[in-house]
Structure 1
Amino acid sequence: MDSWVFWFSFLLFQSMVQYPQPVGDGLDKVTRLRMEARAKLQEQEKIRLEQEVEQLALMQSGASWGDLLWSALQPWQVWAFAGLLVLLLTIWFMWRKRSREAKISVKKEKKKEKEEEEEDETWVYDLRWLLDERIQWPVQDLQTGCSRTMALIDNFISVIGHALTGTFYPVLQQAIGFGSAFEGWTAREKEVAYHVLIPLTPPLGHTFHLERDTDQQKPGRNFRVRVELECSCPREHQGVNLLCFLHHPDVVRRRTRQPNLLDSLCTGFYLDVQKIVIWFCTLLRASWRHLPQSRSWHLVLLASTRSCNLRLNNDQESFLVKVLFGVRRHTSDIFITSRPQGAQTPSTMWPETYAVAETKFFRHMARQMPQDSSHLKCLQLLACVLVRKDFSIHSVKTIIMHLLNTVPVSRWHRRYFLLQLSDALEQLRLSLEEEHLEHFILGNQRLPEEIRLPQDVQRAKPPNLFHGLVQDPAAHSQAMQAYLDLQRCLARVLAYGHF
């Protein structure tokens, strides 16, 4: 109400100023000038008063709207609004606190990861120092030795092949390296032995038939190689003029002056291991001077009944080559060989061997493993410790092969060396306690496809390599004692670096 009264008074005053009372014409010039100046001042005052009135009206209008809004709100709405404001402020402060905690946590995690990486690097460095500098590994270049051995045997087979042309002796096929040296590890020996297998195939007019030995008293799977003559008459070969040992043996002997295989290297109808060894060593001795290796190496033939053992030496080094002979089973990686099976193996008995398949498995795994793999170091360390112990190195090798076939390849990195060594020892302990260790090749359905097995080998029941411990309690006690000695010896090696 006061604002409207004020506004009405202002308008009345303005009308009086705009419409002044008239004056007479007789006013002088000075009076007219004063009146004009006074009119201008009143106009300015009018403008100022209008501006103040407008500002006052705006302020009163704002205050009235605020009062109206405040009066419209109920008390519970005011408290709800205040509570919402407090809640929002609380959430904001909590978010700020968690953000700071998250940043601190990330910094701590990064610091922890960095410390762990530094710790891993230190541990790996210590392990590398242990494996490369502390432990005195055998000093041999196995790759060079394998290449040198295969070159020697290949040269010899090439020379002998020309000499045997036109004869009826077994045909020597390309040699196959097998065993620890060709797998990349070796026991702690002064002289490395390189094992080589030379497959034999029948000569013209002859065939080989493998007969499985059914004697269950003999260990392993054993065969005999029955040699039979086959017909090579012209009518059977569509006009080719071939001599037939089967129908005309005397004519063939008289014309070729060569005995057939049954007359030379067999006992009865079966291929004789000892006769083949003597024949091969005689050929090697006679042809040695024709080989390029004879100019830089000295050859010594060592006595053996079922293999041809060669020692080659010069002024700087020496190495041993053990040559075995075998017959391949079908087109597989399984051979029957001349290796001995027990103390008194008959000369016509050829035990089945899986060494070539095992070497092929190690080569396959070498292609899958990380570059800095520890599996060969693990195997070599165990072999070096066992070399003078009453324990089978092949048993430990079998355990390592089983682990290689089950443990992911990434877990064989060098940093896991001690873990894998511990796993191998634990598996050996369990196998000794249970008196059971399965053969790795026989009956194994999880081998790589590139390893070829005959169906009877693939489907066979895996034999127990610790079968002898079941029947001989004394041997089992001795094996357990050897295991305890192995543990102590390994602890000494890891602590002091020598065997």
Structure 2
Amino acid sequence: MQAGIFRVCLVVVAAIVNHPLLFPRENTTLQESDKEIIQKMKEHEENLKKEQQRLEQEITRKLADHNMNPEGKGKEANLPWDLWSAISMIIFLLIEIWRQDVQEEHLQQPSVEEDDMTLWGNMFQGVFLPNKTALAAFCERFIRSATNDAARTREFVEGFADDLLEALRSVCNRDTDMEVEDSIGVGSMYENWRVNKPLVCDLFVPFAPPEPYRFRSEIWDPEKSGPQDRPGYGKIKVCRPDEEATGCICDKTKLGEDMLCLLHSKSNEIKLNSEMEVLLCSKNTQYLDTDQVMKWFQIAITKAWNKISHKYEFDVTFSHLDSPGALKIRFRSGKFITLNITPVVQYEDSDVYFISHFPSSGLLNGSSSTVCWFLSFAVYERRFLKEMAKHLPENSCHLSCLQLLTFLHGKQSTLTGQSGLSNYHLKTVLLHLLLARPVLDWSSESLEARLKDLLKLLEKSLHEKKLYHFMIGNKRIPATVCLPETFLRAEPLNLFQQFVLHRGLYKKTMDSFYEMLKNTSVLINEYTVHVPPEHTDITNKA
């Protein structure tokens, strides 16, 4: 009798536990309008009731048989009980598995991050952006004045940089020091979309080792996967004369014992090893060390400025010491100009450069190894924008969209602090959008619509945590850009990979992004004071 009561209780408890509507915390995502799910739940409930009734009838029958045959208490009586227990457990297990499958498919309990994502996805629908009049007034009053200032700043910086680099060459040892080439203007100031102040000029300064040494570039291999692979990074090996052919005739002709190559003399080799490799390479390796190169360049810049400082009526200092050439020029009037002169190494015969630091782009050298250098495609990105400008309508709005977005992002960063979003990410979104939309869609009258497209594409990328590098693995890049085939065939590089690894940074970035959307109208209208109030009303919904 006790065994029978226990079995009845077991069946009842199992039915209650598996009841789909008795535990509302498991169904918090159930929507009243989802009729299909409700219908399935009702069917599931009916099946459980029928199964419960059948089991109760079976138990009642077994109890009646047991009472009619009370002497069966031996092994024969234990066998039906064991068999019945096994069958019951199997049935309950199957019911539980089926219930879990239904829950995972339709009623999975969302995590905190999923709750936030649901909220974020709906927020953009309630955000209002300034209308065309307000945007046009902002561009006229704020952006164009900043563009004029940028042209004057570039002209001054280029002249000063040429003088500084010429002095740097004069203070370097031509036999053992690096050979410095002319500077290359890159980034927002040279692509004409920089608006946030201070206006910063970024200059690349390619350098190479003295003869007979040479650099050998080693980039990641997209066909070889492994923990050591770092997509977007590479290493620079300093090749000695005895390791690589340099083109000298002594490499191809066997010289006699009484003949000596003046270029590759033994004494010269020892001198180079002690003064160049030890100072610029990572310890016990032949690979250029980013920190060592930064120290060398800062010392060389300091010597060069000391040589020419008497010619100028301003002071030059390092704005921060964690970048090779982040300089600040301060005039007697109190005004100042900032510039970044960054040493880079050319990748083979291309316009791709190895760079150790990104002082003003917001990107960080994400590698923990000081021998890993990031690959910069800044020259190709500038070339792509020039190529697109040839086909876009006159006075196209593509740069104005980027200027508006970087302005808003800069102001929001001032209010809430830095997030995981950088100006380079915003620029990458624009580059992708330029290829996605027809060229005729970028007329000046389409500024409002294209700005919305830019924000929506950025939001989509943030939600998916995927924003692919524009120049790596993008086969849609025009052939006129002349990007090396190696990078066209490479696997795409996700610039938002950091959000997958760092959930705290991701949440802060999303909060900052939507806060920026809310503040858009206020920030823009602050810089359009000359526009009548009736024209700056927020009338358009994103």
TM-score past 0.5 threshold: yes
Residue aligned with 2:166, SS: helix
- In the alignment, the residues of structure 2 paired with residue 429 and residue 159 of structure 1 have an alpha-carbon distance, to the nearest angstrom, of 48
Of 123-132 and 448-457, more deviation after overlay is shown by: 123-132
Structure 2: any 5+ residue segments left out of the alignment?
A: 1-130, 359-363, 414-418, 530-542
407, 410, 426: which is aligned to 1:396?
426
Q: Is the aligned partner of 1:285 residue 2:308?
A: no
Q: 1:368 to 1:165 in 2, by over 3 A?
A: farther
Shift of 1:442: 0.6
Q: 1:165 to 1:464 in 2, by over 3 A?
A: closer
Of 434-443 and 236-245, more deviation after overlay is shown by: 236-245
Residue of structure 1 in register with 2:312 after alignment: 295
Q: Is the aligned partner of 1:325 residue 2:336?
A: no
Residue of structure 2 in register with 1:195 after alignment: 202
1:35-434 residue pairs with structure 2 within 5 A?
128-133=136-141, 138=146, 141-164=149-172, 166-189=174-197, 191-212=198-219, 216=227, 220-230=231-241, 235-236=250-251, 242-245=261-264, 248-250=265-267, 261-267=276-282, 268-291=285-308, 294-316=311-333, 317-339=335-357, 341-342=364-365, 345-387=368-410, 388-389=412-413, 390=419, 391-434=421-464
Residue aligned with 1:464, SS: coil
Residue of structure 1 in register with 2:465 after alignment: 435
- In the alignment, the residues of structure 2 paired with residue 281 and residue 494 of structure 1 have an alpha-carbon distance, to the nearest angstrom, of 40
- Answer whether contact 1:309 1:323 (CA < 8 A) is retained: yes
Shift of 1:168: 2.4
Of 146-155 and 288-297, more deviation after overlay is shown by: 288-297
Q: 1:406 to 1:228 in 2, by over 3 A?
A: same
- Answer whether contact 1:330 1:454 (CA < 8 A) is retained: no
Residue aligned with 1:319, SS: strand
Shift of 1:215: 6.8
Shift of 1:281: 2.4
- In the alignment, the residues of structure 2 paired with residue 156 and residue 164 of structure 1 have an alpha-carbon distance, to the nearest angstrom, of 12
- In the alignment, the residues of structure 2 paired with residue 163 and residue 494 of structure 1 have an alpha-carbon distance, to the nearest angstrom, of 49
Q: TM-score by structure 1 length?
A: 0.65
Residue aligned with 1:141, SS: helix
Residue aligned with 1:436, SS: coil
- Listed one character per residue, the Cα deviations across residues 407-431 of structure 1 (whole Å, up to 9, x for unaligned) are 2333222211111111111212222
- In the alignment, the residues of structure 2 paired with residue 399 and residue 126 of structure 1 have an alpha-carbon distance, to the nearest angstrom, of 24
Q: 1:469 to 1:251 in 2, by over 3 A?
A: closer
- In the alignment, the residues of structure 1 paired with residue 134 and residue 320 of structure 2 have an alpha-carbon distance, to the nearest angstrom, of 47
- Listed one character per residue, the Cα deviations across residues 334-360 of structure 1 (whole Å, up to 9, x for unaligned) are 111121644674332212222232222
Q: 1:371 to 1:289 in 2, by over 3 A?
A: farther
Residue of structure 1 in register with 2:64 after alignment: none
Residue of structure 2 in register with 1:489 after alignment: 519
Q: 1:235 to 1:483 in 2, by over 3 A?
A: closer
Higher relative CO (Cα under 8 Å, sequence separation at least 6) belongs to 2
Residue aligned with 1:271, SS: coil
- Listed one character per residue, the Cα deviations across residues 295-345 of structure 1 (whole Å, up to 9, x for unaligned) are 233211244244211111213431111122221112222111121644674
Q: 1:269 to 1:155 in 2, by over 3 A?
A: same
Residue aligned with 2:466, SS: coil
- Answer whether contact 1:172 1:198 (CA < 8 A) is retained: yes
- In the alignment, the residues of structure 1 paired with residue 137 and residue 169 of structure 2 have an alpha-carbon distance, to the nearest angstrom, of 50
AA aligned opposite 2:233: N
Of 431-440 and 259-268, more deviation after overlay is shown by: 259-268
Of 398-407 and 467-476, more deviation after overlay is shown by: 467-476
- Answer whether contact 2:147 2:192 (CA < 8 A) is retained: no
Q: 1:272 to 1:479 in 2, by over 3 A?
A: closer
Residue aligned with 2:479, SS: coil
- In the alignment, the residues of structure 2 paired with residue 419 and residue 219 of structure 1 have an alpha-carbon distance, to the nearest angstrom, of 38
- In the alignment, the residues of structure 1 paired with residue 428 and residue 268 of structure 2 have an alpha-carbon distance, to the nearest angstrom, of 53
- In the alignment, the residues of structure 2 paired with residue 134 and residue 337 of structure 1 have an alpha-carbon distance, to the nearest angstrom, of 33
Residue aligned with 1:182, SS: helix
- In the alignment, the residues of structure 2 paired with residue 202 and residue 437 of structure 1 have an alpha-carbon distance, to the nearest angstrom, of 36
Which structure has the bigger radius of gyration?
1
- Listed one character per residue, the Cα deviations across residues 47-83 of structure 1 (whole Å, up to 9, x for unaligned) are xxxxxxxxxxxxxxxxxxxxxxxxxxxxxxxxxxxxx
Task: Give me the CA root mean square deviation.
Answer: 3.4
- In the alignment, the residues of structure 2 paired with residue 495 and residue 361 of structure 1 have an alpha-carbon distance, to the nearest angstrom, of 32
- Answer whether contact 2:134 2:528 (CA < 8 A) is retained: no
- Listed one character per residue, the Cα deviations across residues 266-296 of structure 1 (whole Å, up to 9, x for unaligned) are 2331222223222222222222255489423
- In the alignment, the residues of structure 1 paired with residue 171 and residue 473 of structure 2 have an alpha-carbon distance, to the nearest angstrom, of 42
Q: TM-score by structure 2 length?
A: 0.60
Shift of 1:206: 0.4
- In the alignment, the residues of structure 2 paired with residue 471 and residue 371 of structure 1 have an alpha-carbon distance, to the nearest angstrom, of 43
Q: 1:319 to 1:471 in 2, by over 3 A?
A: same
- Listed one character per residue, the Cα deviations across residues 91-133 of structure 1 (whole Å, up to 9, x for unaligned) are xxxxxxxxxxxxxxxxxxxxxxxxxxxxxxxx98775434324
Q: 1:168 to 1:223 in 2, by over 3 A?
A: same
- In the alignment, the residues of structure 2 paired with residue 133 and residue 278 of structure 1 have an alpha-carbon distance, to the nearest angstrom, of 42
Residue aligned with 2:291, SS: helix
Structure 1: any 5+ residue segments left out of the alignment?
A: 1-122
Q: 1:183 to 1:163 in 2, by over 3 A?
A: same
- Answer whether contact 2:472 2:493 (CA < 8 A) is retained: yes
**Structure 1 stretches of 4+ moved >6 Å:** 123-126, 134-137, 237-241
Residue of structure 2 in register with 1:5 after alignment: none
Residue aligned with 1:270, SS: coil
Q: 1:381 to 1:263 in 2, by over 3 A?
A: same
- Answer whether contact 1:299 1:313 (CA < 8 A) is retained: yes
Residue aligned with 2:481, SS: coil
